[in-house]
Structures are given as structure tokens and as C-alpha cells.
Structure 1
Amino acid sequence: MAQNNLPKGRPLDELDVQILQLLQRNARLTNREIALQLGLSVTPTYERIRRLERLGYIQGYVALLDPRRIGQALTVMATIRLKEHSREYLEQFVEQVQKLPEVMECYYVAGDFDYILKVAVSDMDAYQQFLVKKLAGLENIGQVQSHFIMMDIKKSTAYPLDALL
């Protein structure tokens, strides 16, 4: 097995990785369906899945929604540069941005910007309102650049797991 940062205890084996791959593709698979695909019985499959959850490999299960169907057709990647970088200001920004429902994801990054936000809104007017009334109102915002997603070329939630084998 390749060197990686696995938790202490029995490392993942090929069956564990196959379970993770199956659940990444379709989290609605039942234990029985997974067991059939792996050639196992249901109980050991169930126990493996619970172990993967306990160890933190599986953090949760979600339904992926079509943003257009729920009125969130515009996705914006906003790059943020803060004015100051003291611990207090960094923590304050994180606390404030977590309260904004339009922000789907927030990344603290190295490089020209401090943060990248993935923002979902209905349209350009809604983004302008978000920018002016919410984001620009946060203390310590120095610069915001907005990048509008024109088309999804590749969009995946599944991680490659080959390195675990």
C-alpha cells in the first residue's frame, strides 16, 4: 500500500476502497447492493461502512441538487484580499463568511488572494445585492474580484482513490 496519512489501526484494503468508490458514485446504494457488487455478505459490508464512517473517511451523505432548478443559476468564484492579516481579522472574516447563505464554499489560499468563495445566487442582480449589502459590508475587505461561471466543463464530487491501494 502507498504511504499516506491513514488513521492508526487496520489500514484500508481493496474492499474498503471499492466501497468508497461505489458510495462516491451513488450514496443511495444499500448495504445489500454494495455487498452484491463486491461479492460479500451484507453484515461484513455494513461493518466496513460503519468503520469507514467512524474513522472519518465518510463524512456524510448528501443529495446533489441542480442549481438552475432551485433558482440558483449564477455561480460566482469571488477572490478576496483582506486589508490586514492579523489573527483577529482572519478569525473574524471566517466567522462572518460562514453566516452568509450565498457562500457555498470558502477556501483560505496562498498566492495573490487570501480567500476564494464559491457563491450561488439567482442572477446578476442578486449577486450585485450580495456584493454591496453583504460582502462589502464585512470588516477588513480590501479587494474583491468576481469570476462568473459561464459553463460547467467538469464538475465532480468523487476523489480519485488509486493512491490508497
Structure 2
Amino acid sequence: MPKFLALDKVDRKLLNLLQKDNQIPTRTLAEKVHISQPTCLRRIRDLREAGVISADVALVDPFALGYGMLAFLEVSLINQSDEHMQEFEARMAKETEVMQCYFVSGEYDYFLVVHVIDMDAYYQFVRK
């Protein structure tokens, strides 16, 4: 059974604030959770080392780049062999329109979140 890190109320507040804005100054963060700045830095470092905070990323707004249409696609593969599924996943990873690709159970094999410029771009994407 996997071992989970026990988080206290302060750690949870820190994580909540960092998820909303990971650029928030440490001093401000410490003030918001009522701890000292060195304690705040140590807690964040510990959360990183434990793998609770796994990355610092920039979220790009696709609409600001002209991708005006968000589409959700359900995909069924004709052949569900490991080889075909790996091939499909590798191909989706290369498609710039695909923001997320989930392997799911049920009627469909995959669920895709796709950003495209417009309906024409959507039709071109699904026909690839």
C-alpha cells in the first residue's frame, strides 16, 4: 500500500494558495497562512522533496492564441492491442491541438480535450 504524506492545515492552505498562483512572494504566502517566512520556505521545500508539488508550470490561454474552439472527443479504436494503443497515444502526444488525452473504460477507449481555431480546423483534425 502506498505511503501518503500527512498534511496539516498549514500545508493544505499553502498548497491551495500555490495552486492558484505559484508566483506569489514567499513573504505574502507566509503572512496569509500565519507562519514565518523561513518556516514557509522550509514547508514548500519539504512538499517539493516529497513530490507533493511536482512542477511549476505556466498555463497558456489557448483562446488568447486564436484557438477559439474547445472540443471534447470520445475515441474508440478498432484494435485495442497494446501496440495500437501505444501508437495512438504517441500520435496524440505529437498533435498540437490535443491538450489532454485520457485512457478511459466503458464504451470509448480515449477521451481527448482539443483546442482548434474553428470548425474547419476541427473537421481537419478529426479526419487525420
- Scaled by the length of structure 2, the TM-score of the pair is 0.90
2:47 corresponds to 1:58:
no
2:116 corresponds to 1:121:
yes
| Equivalent residue in structure 1 for 2:15, among 17, 20, 23 | 20
Q: Match for residue 100 of structure 1?
A: 95
Letter in 1 for 2:13: Q
Q: Which has the higher contact order (CA 8 A, sep 6+)?
A: 1
- SS in structure 2 at match of 1:78: strand
- Residue ranges of structure 2 left out of the alignment (5+ in a row): none
Q: Which has the higher helix share?
A: 2
Q: Match for residue 157 of structure 1?
A: none
- Residue ranges of structure 1 left out of the alignment (5+ in a row): 134-165
Q: Match for residue 75 of structure 1?
A: 70
Once the two structures are TM-superposed, the CA of residue 5 in structure 1 deviates from its matched residue by 5.4
Aligned residues: 127
Once the two structures are TM-superposed, the CA of residue 23 in structure 1 deviates from its matched residue by 0.9
Q: Match for residue 48 of structure 1?
A: 43
- SS in structure 1 at match of 2:55: coil
Distance 1:30 1:98 in 2: 34
Q: Match for residue 84 of structure 2?
A: 89
Letter in 1 for 2:100: E
